[in-house]
Amino acid sequence: MEGNDTVEKRQMDIRQVLKALPHRYPLLLVDRVESLTLNEEIHAVKAVTFNEEFFQGHFPGAPIMPGVLQIEALAQAAAILGIETLELAGTGKLVYFMGIDGAKFRAPVTPGCLLDLKVSFLQKRSRVYKFAGKASVNGKTTCECEFTAMIADPPE
């Protein structure tokens, strides 16, 4: 895999996250990066608030973050890991989902939570990468899965 092989752990604030990802409100699901080790892993955080648009319908009176959005948050963390590892921030390259395997949902995520997103590389091949992801709240796993993504140019 091309890119920087340093084992330095670094953090990213929201401004740096916005430089690494093309996502914007309401679909930006990473608020900060607690630690990122290039070529290895990332620990990012999503602050889940009652103001999220999806809580209006999922579910009124019993707000729960949809599981697919937990997976999307993990994918966005993986995208940051890949883009930063390959030093592609600002190039316009996008990270596309290719597959999700073994998704399991263990506990609900409700407003007021800090959702920890931990993702690590499982396999690296040319432009296709496989990741393992786990989301948790206060150390309790809420979602886990493996997924495959590809880094490519945006559609014309």
Q: Return the active site residues.
A: 58
CB of 133 closer than 8 Å to CB of 122: no
Here the CATH number for the domain that contains residue 76 is 3.10.129.10
Question: How many domains, in total, are found in the chain?
Answer: 1
Q: Where are the alpha helices (DSSP H) in 46-134?
A: 67-85
Express each pLDDT in 67-126 by its tens digit. Answer: 999 999 999 999 999 999 999 988 989 999 999 999 999 999 999 999 999 999 999 998
Q: Is residue 80 part of a domain?
A: yes
Express each pLDDT in 108-121 by its tens digit. Answer: 999 999 999 999 99
Q: Is residue 2 part of a domain?
A: no
Alpha-carbon gap, residue 68 to 124, rounded angstroms? 24
The distance in angstroms from the start CA to the end CA of the chain is 26
Q: Is residue 1 part of a domain?
A: no
Listed residue (44, 65, 54) closest to 107, CA to CA: 65
DSSP state of 54: G
Domain that holds residue 106: 9-152
Q: Is residue 69 part of a domain?
A: yes
Q: Is residue 4 part of a domain?
A: no
Q: Is residue 78 part of a domain?
A: yes
